[in-house]
Structure 1
Amino acid sequence: MSPGSLRAIRAATTRGEVLVSPVSAWEIGMLAARPRPGVVFHPNPQAWFARLLALPGVQLAPLTPEAGIESSFLPGKPSGDPADRLLIATARALAASLVTRDRGLLRYGATGQLRVLAC
């Protein structure tokens, strides 16, 4: 992560404003299901995600039916990936910045449709 993104995340954590999407849990599961060198979730993905949510200042973002529907009607030209679209719709509904290194999400953020923080 970049020093700037780490500072922003630490500041948000101090304010209790770090939100983690349930979609991220699915993405972690997908990463763990196809092991790659250097990508390990100790002792398992479920425990790793639970520890993340137990950190001070970190909370689970709601995944609402409204976000599910909104993800189908996003302005501009967002990613076609359903997980990305759910992340976008949730971040927009919560007026939250999305921390990502995904190029497609960063490009979408550059259009002004989504607040993004590159990491």
Structure 2
Amino acid sequence: MIVLDTHALVWWIGGKGLSKPARAAIDREAKEHGEIVVSTMTAWEIMLLIKKGRLRLATDVGRWLDKVSRIEGVQFAPIDRHIALASADLPGNFHQDPADRMIVATARSLSASLVTKDEQIRSYEHIKTIW
């Protein structure tokens, strides 16, 4: 099981931008019928990126996310009260970005590695990352 950060999901679906280890980890999960987890926070973050003009999709964001959810092995993890509380109580020092905190809390709650290029997340000692 792996969790994808928002940019990792967008780059995976778009077919470019991932590092070789990130691509290999995603491919391995897909081939072995593993789980590729996406936090529902990613849907929120993608919509904000579109509204800010920092991301363009070939289709409506709802349709795009529906397409992603139909990929075998992909599942969206809800933000329940446990994730919400964990995101506000991450151990050690972690920055205050709410999307990053929710995604990291999701990966930690699942004991899963997080696929991310984000240097701040990768330097956080309380989560295993792949890039």
Q: What TM-score do the two structures reach when normalised by structure 1?
A: 0.88
Q: Secondary structure of 2:53's partner? A: coil
Q: Is the 8 A contact 2:21 2:130 kept in 1?
A: no
1:13 Cα offset (Å): 1.9
Q: Distance in 2 between matches of 1:98 and 1:79?
A: 16
Q: Does 1:117 align with 2:130?
A: yes
1:27-66 Cα distance to aligned partner (Å, 9 max, x none) = 1101110114xx3212111111111111111111132201
Q: Distance in 2 between matches of 1:115 and 1:102?
A: 13
- Pick from 91, 94, 115: which aligns with 1:75? 91
- The residue correspondences of 1:41-52 to structure 2 (distance < 5 A) are 41-52=57-68
- Pick from 24, 38, 47: which aligns with 1:7? 24
- The residue correspondences of 1:31-42 to structure 2 (distance < 5 A) are 31-36=49-54, 39-42=55-58
| Equivalent in the alignment of 2:122 | 106
Listed as ranges, the gaps of 5+ residues in structure 1 are none
- Pick from 68, 83, 94: which aligns with 2:110? 94
Q: Distance in 2 between matches of 1:96 and 1:62?
A: 15
User: Which residue identity lines up with residue 34 of structure 1 in the other structure?
Assistant: K
| Equivalent in the alignment of 1:57 | 73
Q: Which runs of 4+ in 1 moved over 2 A?
A: none
Instruction: Give the percent of matched residue pairs that are identical in Structure 1 and Structure 2.
Output: 35
Higher relative contact order (CA 8 A, sep 6+): 2
Q: Distance in 2 between matches of 1:57 and 1:71?
A: 25
User: Which residue identity lines up with residue 59 of structure 1 in the other structure?
Assistant: Q
Q: Once superposed, what is the RMSD of the aligned Cα atoms?
A: 1.2
| Equivalent in the alignment of 1:19 | 37
Listed as ranges, the gaps of 5+ residues in structure 2 are 1-17
Q: Secondary structure of 1:41's partner? A: coil
Q: Is the 8 A contact 1:16 1:56 kept in 2?
A: no
